[in-house]
Amino acid sequence: MSQTAVPDAVRQAVEGIAMRARSAGRELAQWGTDVKDAALHAMATALVEAGDGIVGENRADLADGERDGLSAGLLDRLRLDSGRIAQIADALREVAGLPDPVGEVLCGRTLPNGLRLRQIRVPMGVVGMIYEARPGVTVDAAGLAVKSGNAVILRGGSAARRTNGAIVAVLGEALEREGLPRDAVQTVDDYGRDGARALMTARGMVDLLIPRGGAGLIQTVVREATVPCIETGVGNCHVYVDSAANLDEALRVVVNSKAQRPSVCNAAETLLVNQQVAQAFLPVAARALAAEGVKLHADPRALALIPGDVDVVPATEADWSTEYLSLDLAVGVVEDVEDAIEHIQTYSSGHTEAICTRDLATATRFVEAMDSAAVIVNASTRFTDGGQFGLGAEIGISTQKLHARGPMGLTELTTTKWVVWGDGQIRT
Amino acid sequence: MSQTAVPDAVRQAVEGIAMRARSAGRELAQWGTDVKDAALHAMATALVEAGDGIVGENRADLADGERDGLSAGLLDRLRLDSGRIAQIADALREVAGLPDPVGEVLCGRTLPNGLRLRQIRVPMGVVGMIYEARPGVTVDAAGLAVKSGNAVILRGGSAARRTNGAIVAVLGEALEREGLPRDAVQTVDDYGRDGARALMTARGMVDLLIPRGGAGLIQTVVREATVPCIETGVGNCHVYVDSAANLDEALRVVVNSKAQRPSVCNAAETLLVNQQVAQAFLPVAARALAAEGVKLHADPRALALIPGDVDVVPATEADWSTEYLSLDLAVGVVEDVEDAIEHIQTYSSGHTEAICTRDLATATRFVEAMDSAAVIVNASTRFTDGGQFGLGAEIGISTQKLHARGPMGLTELTTTKWVVWGDGQIRT
């Protein structure tokens, strides 16, 4: 996105949307869990009922996308059909079943002067989401926002503009029928990239901005946003196979971490193998990975141990920091756990790192040294996920340290408020 | 600060400081509470022992400040003597006595597949502080950082450069004598404003940046920072006196909120009075405030009720959003609690709002409607303070909603990490 100024008309329009969102959020914050849950069920029903219309708009987006030469992967993520809409609607019903974080008392005490102090969980207010052309995210974000008492302002990919417009209209009407403010779910998609930039810089009007998508999108938003923003999702995840690993178990963990779903942020991108077990492990692992279609990018020591019939190229410096999101894996041989730690500290994006070892001291050292959202001992990196962790639906995975780290669910869409009840106390 | 590029030499120097801080933070994170507390006591002792030298550097800063025409208030905040140094050292010892947040297990469970999941509190890593010429903040920030296992990079006001340099040298030597990394406490003061700007934009090297000072400083940092940043401290705090208030109690609360210490962020800046009690309350309150030297800025309805011998001027639109930090108070008459809520929602900076009322429904409505860090019923706004809340020392008061809201202590200088222990689990 360019650094030229946002046109005044766009800024005013987006600020108008944000002010209506603020007002809707204030109203939503006052409704109880039962009202919000009823609205989520109504939103789900309305989506299914409006399915044909939404699919029609989606077909138009897909036709434009094909004309504009979108990749098959992007078109696939954009595509909706009645089965997919039913899944998306079910996800809303699941959010309705989650506990409501709003109103939770986090701590409290009566102070020596008699003041009664409480720290209470409250909605953020206005949440912004900037994401790519995945219509399911539109619904997920709206559902999580409503449940947590927030208004949401959406900016989906331009390739999904008509689909998202249809979805937001349906959700808004459902909210209105349930007596909730329609402006709780709005989009700035009509204003293109300028709209996104106005949203990123609407200081005082947006309480939390979450970018979700590829590394380019996230870096742009984090760099340009002047509203509070959370960095999500870039996952350059590592698996380290220690000298004390159970190699059969390590093989399953490595293959699963890389190949079970390579396109997502918790898939492994680099395998580090302790030199003591490299000769025993690497040839077997290379063949098993090759059987899954994985292409290896190997350092010289690993390269020497990989069988000639395996698809492998020499690793470049760039490979160590690349989030492939594909069936590619960087492979290196390290001296020991300290060497592995140093490598990971140098190249990691702070998402998930795993170690395979049966040695307790080594596992503990690795867990303490890793500065990532999740550290996993003897299991697949693929477990870093709100659903897998038992946290319910997630709106993204934070790779920063402020406010939220790791899978972000309903709780991460709230803030707190100190409430103090007194009877005339003053400071002396 | 201008938007011109930071000179390469300054950026490289500051990034070098940040990398050394990262390394020091990693080392500090591994030390237990006993070692960190011993270091805090050593830092306190070293400060007192080096008192004469620090006071000498402080005199030089003061002389420069006088020559440069610094205000009496700024010179006062900059000034150190042996008594003040003893107080600052005692504050370090108090931090040593606080509970260590690091290592706390926030939640945990065993998942159905046998994975043992824990969410553990860990240090942030590298914390940046940008503040004005108050040498006490240098020591407070260093102490809170060490206790919470973080390295800190300080940027104090240029007027305190020599004082801060002497303090940081003393603290670093004390850390080193205790076997802790000297680079855990560093300053970029040698690089002036360019150094501050390099610190604000050292992405990936600074985990949390806290500006502390006047509104101008804070807004500049929040606007220009590309590292995660917390907005602190601007307090346009309100007191609303309801029709159901106990007026004697309300008088004490209003006078205390405004006049007990007008230069701090939790002092009241606007008084709103319900029209039903304005005639009974305002003349008395105006006289009581005038007796404390408070100058009133009144709206037309308030103006009509304020006795002629009281120092009062008509309020302008700007008065409603001004954080005076002085013996000035904006005064308005409102129709009812809803009118008061609307006024506060329009002008508040989100710090602290108080209501005086004996009516439960009115108090509850006010508490729920206010979107501020603290809402206080029948007590002074001056209670919003880490020490008063019983949270221990504070590094600032957050007025944003992300990560921390209200007084920030040791806990707010930490993040969390998910740790997962398995025995070969993979996703299917």
Q: Return the residue matching tokens 């000298």.
A: A243
Dihedral (Cα; B113, B114, B116, B117), 10-degree rounding: 10
pLDDT confidence band for B213 (50 / 70 / 90): confident
Q: For residue range B274-308, what is the model confidence (pLDDT) as tens digits?
A: 999 999 999 999 999 999 999 999 999 999 999 99
Q: What are the residue ranges of CATH 3.40.309.10 in chain A?
A: 237-383
Phi and psi torsions of A379, nearest 5°: -160, 170
Mean pLDDT (whole number) for A388-415 = 91
pLDDT above 70 covers a percentage of chain A that reads: 99
Q: CB count, 10 Å around CB of B393?
A: 19
User: Rg of chain B over CA atoms, in angstroms?
Assistant: 24
Q: Do B374 and A222 touch (CB under 8 A)?
A: no
Those of residues 286-325 in A touching chain B at CB distance below 8 A are none
CA distance B342 to B277: 19
Question: CB of A133 within 8 A of CB of A160?
Answer: yes
Average confidence score pLDDT of chain A: 95
CA-nearest of B202, B223, A200, A225 to B211 is: B223
Measured at the CA of A233, the angle between CA B220 and CA A19, to 5 degrees, comes to: 50
Residue B182 has pLDDT above 60, yes or no: yes
- Who among B256, B421, B425 is closest to A380 (CB)? B425
Coil/strand/helix, residue B346: helix
Q: What are the residue ranges of CATH 3.40.605.10 in chain A?
A: 8-232+395-421
Mean pLDDT (whole number) for B260-265 = 92
Helix (H) or strand (E) holding B129: strand B126-131
Q: Return the residue matching tokens 């947040």.
A: B101
Closest residue of B to A257, CA-based? B426
DSSP state of B158: G
For position A214, what pLDDT does the model report? 81
Question: CB of B122 within 8 A of CB of B201?
Answer: no
User: Rg of chain A over CA atoms, in angstroms?
Assistant: 24
Phi and psi torsions of B302, nearest 5°: -70, -45
Question: CB of A249 within 8 A of CB of A255?
Answer: no
CA distance B23 to B125: 9
Identity at B100, one-letter amino acid code: D
- Who among A377, A405, A428 is closest to B417 (CB)? A405
Q: Do A415 and B423 touch (CB under 8 A)?
A: no
Question: pTM to 2 decimals?
Answer: 0.91
Q: A256 to chain B: which residues are within 8 Å by CB?
A: 426-427
For position B2, what pLDDT does the model report? 45
pLDDT above 90 covers a percentage of chain B that reads: 88
- Who among A260, A402, A416 is closest to B208 (CB)? A402
CA-nearest of B25, B257, B247, B326 to B152 is: B25
Q: Using a CB–CB cutoff of 8 Å, tell me whether B375 touches chain A.
A: yes
DSSP state of B59: H
Q: For residue range A73-132, what is the model confidence (pLDDT) as tens digits?
A: 889 889 999 999 999 999 999 999 999 999 999 999 999 999 999 999 999 999 999 998
- Who among A207, A374, A401 is closest to B420 (CB)? A374
Coil/strand/helix, residue B377: strand
Residue B1 has pLDDT above 80, yes or no: no
Q: B423 to chain A: which residues are within 8 Å by CB?
A: 249, 378-379
Instruction: Give the homologous superfamily in CATH for domain B8-232+395-421.
Output: Aldehyde Dehydrogenase; Chain A, domain 1 (3.40.605.10)
Q: For residue range B73-130, what is the model confidence (pLDDT) as tens digits?
A: 889 889 999 999 999 999 999 999 999 999 999 999 999 999 999 999 999 999 999 9
Q: A207 to chain B: which residues are within 8 Å by CB?
A: 400-402
CA-nearest of A117, A118, A116, A120 to A103 is: A120
Q: For residue range A344-359, what is the model confidence (pLDDT) as tens digits?
A: 999 999 999 999 999 9
Architecture in CATH for domain B237-383: 3-Layer(aba) Sandwich (3.40)
**Range of lowest pLDDT (A183-197, B193-207, B219-233, B309-323):** B219-233
Instruction: Give strand ranges (E) for A36-125.
Output: 105-110, 116-123
Q: Return the residue matching tokens 């098993």.
A: A288
For position B118, what pLDDT does the model report? 97
Q: For residue range A143-189, what is the model confidence (pLDDT) as tens digits?
A: 999 999 999 999 998 899 999 999 999 999 999 999 999 999 999 99
Alpha-carbon distance B244 to nearest alpha carbon in chain A (angstroms): 13
pLDDT: is A314 or A72 the higher one?
A314
Q: For residue range A259-295, what is the model confidence (pLDDT) as tens digits?
A: 999 988 999 999 999 999 999 999 999 999 999 999 9
Q: A228 to chain B: which residues are within 8 Å by CB?
A: 400-402
Q: Are strands B406-408 and B396-398 parallel, antiparallel or unpaired?
A: antiparallel
CA distance B381 to B400: 18
- Who among B369, B375, B403 is closest to A403 (CB)? B403
Q: Which residues pair with residue B407 across a beta bridge?
A: B397
For position B405, what pLDDT does the model report? 95
Alpha-carbon distance A14 to nearest alpha carbon in chain B (angstroms): 19
Q: CB count, 10 Å around CB of B52?
A: 9
Q: For residue range A287-344, what is the model confidence (pLDDT) as tens digits?
A: 999 999 999 999 999 999 999 999 999 999 999 999 999 999 999 999 999 999 999 9
